[in-house]
Amino acid sequence: MSRPTIKTIAQETGLSIATVSKALNDSPQVRPETRALVVAAAERVGYQLNMHGVQLRTGKTYQVAAIMTAPGPKQNEWEGVEYAQLLSGISWALEDSPYRVSLYAVRSFEESITTIRQIVSLKKADGIIVSGTHADDPRVRLMQEADFPFVTYGTTIHNAPHAYVDADNEQMIRLSVARLAERGHSRIALINPMADLSYSLTRLEAYRQALDIAGLSFNPALTAHGHLTPAFGRENVLLMSGLSNPPTAYICANEASALGAFSGFHARGLVHGRDAVINATDDLNVSQYFAPPITTYFLPIHEPSEMLGRYILRRMEGETPQALQTLIMPKLIERSDDRLAK
């Protein structure tokens, strides 16, 4: 009364287990009529492939490891919340495949290196999805050397070509700065992620170039790098608004820091649209509920997420990394006027 195996089907059909296995795997070595017989029998007895047998025999794990660098349990901050949607997007993309998402929550970049090293060397998964890429990312090198399939959420700068998905940060920042400059702003602050992250560099570089094009000067005091929490956004508004020449516009890297920036406005008595404006990049479309709603570049996170899932599948099937590289341009959503008040 136990679960049927290929042995059950073999007895049922009078064939050998070898033939049954081949039939179920669409091997050209079995006659179509035989295959039909096997499939019918499988159906009849309610056969379901036992993965453990396959895994032992083939060495494949049918697991995709998702490395999630989450803030430590001590910090209670709104950080990394987009992982929920990221993970479900990946999970959905794998839904019709035999692969499952296996979660590896790590606390730091260093821990993510050792975790990945372990997954690779002990083959605990067939593919890896990793985010928070650095400009020169040792994990990428690690996986490339081992010829291990992976996709990154985020680009790298100094690594050899690999599969990735990312927002088009460069274009987004260029347009963002240009738009604010057009509207009369000359002191534009950039609230940026941690400096060691690749996209932080990309954004900073694009920011400098865009300022240059707009004929504005670069002022290091108007840039900040750190964990994209509300605390960070708030902190920097408090700091920068106290400068002798405070910014009239803030470009925040996500909605958490934008919310914090609002909190800073409130603390300083600043009014959005009068004293300064906030723009942001938005994953969850939550900025529309800010008071007032702000202008954002919006990239619904399920898009890159599902792409990550589809890409890792294709990568595991041997497709070349160069064919699996996409930058997605977030959509501008103008909710506030954003002209410099006189």
Ranges within 128-187 binding a copy of itself (CB under 8 A): none
Is the distance from CB of 268 to CB of 241 less than 8 angstroms? yes
For the chain, the first-to-last Cα distance in angstroms comes to 82
Total residues contacting DNA (rule CB under 7 A)? 31
For tokens 């999970």, name the residue.
91
Residue 25 Cα distances to 13, 21, 79, 293, angstroms = 17, 6, 45, 55
Binding residue for a copy of itself, selected from 32, 59, 220, 242, defined by CB under 8 A = 59
Q: Closest approach of Cβ 182 to a copy of itself, in Å?
A: 27
The C-alpha atoms of residue 213 and residue 139 are separated, in whole angstroms, by 36
The C-alpha atoms of residue 10 and residue 68 are separated, in whole angstroms, by 44
Nearer to a copy of itself, 247 or 260 (CB): 260
Q: Closest approach of Cβ 66 to a copy of itself, in Å?
A: 7
Binding partner at 87 among DNA, a copy of itself, none, C-beta below 5 to 8 Å by kind: a copy of itself
The SS3 call for residue 182 is helix
Q: Closest approach of Cβ 225 to DNA, in Å?
A: 45
Is the distance from CB of 19 to CB of 6 less than 8 angstroms? no
* Angle, CA 139 vertex, CA 137 and CA 142 arms, to 5°: 120
Taking CB under 8 A as the rule, does residue 80 contact a copy of itself?
yes
Taking CB under 8 A as the rule, does residue 265 contact a copy of itself?
yes
Is the distance from CB of 273 to CB of 336 less than 8 angstroms? yes
> CB-based contacts of 96: which residues, under 8 Å, 6+ apart?
none
Taking CB under 7 A as the rule, does residue 6 contact DNA?
yes
Ranges within 34-63 binding DNA (CB under 7 A): 34, 47-50, 52-54, 56-58
Taking CB under 8 A as the rule, does residue 269 contact a copy of itself?
no
Taking CB under 8 A as the rule, does residue 82 contact a copy of itself?
yes
Binding partner at 122 among DNA, a copy of itself, none, C-beta below 5 to 8 Å by kind: a copy of itself
Q: How many residues does the chain have?
A: 342
Per-residue x/- track, 201-230, a copy of itself (CB under 8 A): -----------------------------x
For tokens 């709104």, name the residue.
78
For tokens 């399920």, name the residue.
302
Binding partner at 147 among DNA, a copy of itself, none, C-beta below 5 to 8 Å by kind: none
20 CB neighbour count, 10 Å cutoff: 28
Strand locations in 96-209 (E):
100-106, 127-131, 150-153, 164-167, 188-192
- For 78, phi then psi, to 5°, come to -80, 85
Q: Closest approach of Cβ 97 to DNA, in Å?
A: 15
Q: Closest approach of Cβ 54 to DNA, in Å?
A: 4
Taking CB under 8 A as the rule, does residue 274 contact a copy of itself?
no
Binding partner at 225 among DNA, a copy of itself, none, C-beta below 5 to 8 Å by kind: none
- For 182, phi then psi, to 5°, come to -55, -35
In 3D, which of 152, 213, 148, 156 has the Cα closest to residue 181? Answer: 213
| Interacting residues with a copy of itself (CB under 8 A) | 48, 52-53, 55-56, 59, 61, 63, 66, 68, 70, 73, 76-78, 80-85, 87-89, 91-92, 100-105, 122, 230-231, 234, 256, 259-260, 262-263, 265-266, 284-286, 288-293, 298, 300, 302, 306
| Interacting residues with DNA (CB under 7 A) | 2-3, 5-7, 14-19, 21-22, 24-25, 28-31, 33-34, 47-50, 52-54, 56-58
